[in-house]
Amino acid sequence: MCLKDNHLHLPTLSSPFAIEGMSFRNRVVLAPMSGVTDLPFRQLAWRYGAGLVVTEMVASRELACNAGESWARLKNTGITPHMVQLAGREAHWMAEAAKIAAGNGADVIDINMGCPAKKVTGGYSGSALMRDPDHALSLIEATVRAVDIPVTLKMRLGWDETTMNAPEIARRAEAAGIRMVTIHGRTRMQFYKGQADWDAIRAVRDAVSLPLVANGDVTTLDDATEILKRSGADAVMTGRACQGRPWHAGVLAGACAAPEGQARLDVISEHYEMMLAFYGMETGVRHARKHLGWYIDRFAPDAPGHRKASVLTATDHKAALSGLLELLRDGETAVERTMAA
């Protein structure tokens, strides 16, 4: 297909798209992010109009053995479809975990083959699986066989620049029954360095006819349009750009306007309360700190260090929230003053 044709057929971000057996309300997907896209965050992203949201990765063996925080990661209320991401290195545990997830309300299982973290790749899961496509395929086949809900796959371009095997794995995954592939346009060895290579994702487009989601450094509407054009993908996935603005995927999809002023403070307060309710007071206060930090960095970037630190170290939830709101109000006043000058 020539570029001109491709441009003419560029899908609109706000339009629905489908995988076999299921359709999604638009083409902007919130990326799975461990420690970030917990249930409160996903609920907000969903309410503001993200087309699809994905849980944090759930370690398959832990889930099957009832250990760790896996069960909390599996929870869902009010989001349809419920897409659960599983990570693991053994076909047996992936299959067991997939059955548990499906039995507990998952509508889609996503297999994580993209995580670069040493803790994960050291255990030969995440992107390490891309180094051994035969083994990766055995995991995929076992997962697909275990459940009768759609199974999707998220991976990188390859392990490093000499082994860009995403097209080969995608082709084999399609034959094994995978229903959608997401590609982060970096290799594992790049971690998060440099720019994601949106053009390189096109090699996967050319290899499979599955629905394809393109990911990596999508922040603005222009980025979202450009990654679709360059990769030939059907949908985009955005991750870090949503930190400190859970509504952002919905904004990119044209489903909502970014909240401003008091409306923004209200969402942020609600997010805080949701985290306290989800994790319990003590863990909630600790867990919420990274989100508060992102809100401050985004909306009060010039906040004095000592005020930011006092919000982020507060152990009392009321003190943390009131300190945060004060900082954000001051941040807005500073922006208004700059604009008036």
Ligand X SMILES: Cc1cc2nc3c(=O)[nH]c(=O)nc-3n(C[C@H](O)[C@H](O)[C@H](O)COP(=O)(O)O)c2cc1C
Q: How many CB atoms lie within 10 A of CB 138?
A: 16
Q: Which of residues 232, 239, 246, 323 is near ligand X by CB under 6 A?
A: 239
Residue 10 burial (10 A CB sphere; 0-12, 13-18, 19+): exposed
Number of chain residues interacting with ligand X (CB under 6 A):
22
Residue 190 is assigned to a ligand binding site: no
Q: Let me know the angle formed at the C-alpha of 104 by 100 and 108, rounded to the nearest 5 degrees.
A: 80
Minimum Å gap between C-beta 332 and ligand X is 26
Residue 43 is assigned to a ligand binding site: no
- Among 74-82, 164-172, 236-244, 260-268, which window interacts with ligand X (CB under 6 A)? 236-244
Specify the residue, 1 or 67, whose C-beta has the smaller distance to ligand X.
67
Annotated active-site residue 115? The verdict is yes
Minimum Å gap between C-beta 320 and ligand X is 21
Residue 234 and residue 17: Cα distance in Å, rounded? 8
Q: Which residues, numbered 64-123, are part of the site for ligand X (CB under 6 A)?
A: 85, 112, 114-115
Minimum Å gap between C-beta 209 and ligand X is 23
Instruction: Verify binding: residue 57, ligand X, rule CB under 6 A.
Output: yes
Instruction: Verify binding: residue 38, ligand X, rule CB under 6 A.
Output: no
Specify the residue, 83 or 100, whose C-beta has the smaller distance to ligand X.
83
Residue 98 and residue 111: Cα distance in Å, rounded? 10
- Which amino acid belongs to residue 62? E
Which of 46, 76, 79 has its CA nearest to residue 58? 76
Minimum Å gap between C-beta 149 and ligand X is 18
Specify the residue, 85 or 165, whose C-beta has the smaller distance to ligand X.
85
Q: Which residues, numbered 153-182, are part of the site for ligand X (CB under 6 A)?
A: 154
Residue 19 and residue 88: Cα distance in Å, rounded? 24
Contacts for 215 with CB less than 8 Å, ≥ 6 apart: 29, 31, 154, 182, 183, 184, 185, 196, 236, 237, 238, 239
Which of 230, 237, 239, 222 has its CA nearest to residue 204? 230
Question: One of 2, 65, 115, 242 is an active-site residue; which one?
Answer: 115
Q: How many CB atoms lie within 10 A of CB 140?
A: 25
- For ligand X, the binding residues (CB under 6 A) are 31-36, 56-57, 85, 112, 114-115, 154, 184, 215-218, 238-241
Which residue ranges are tagged as binding site for FMN?
85, 154, 184, 239-240
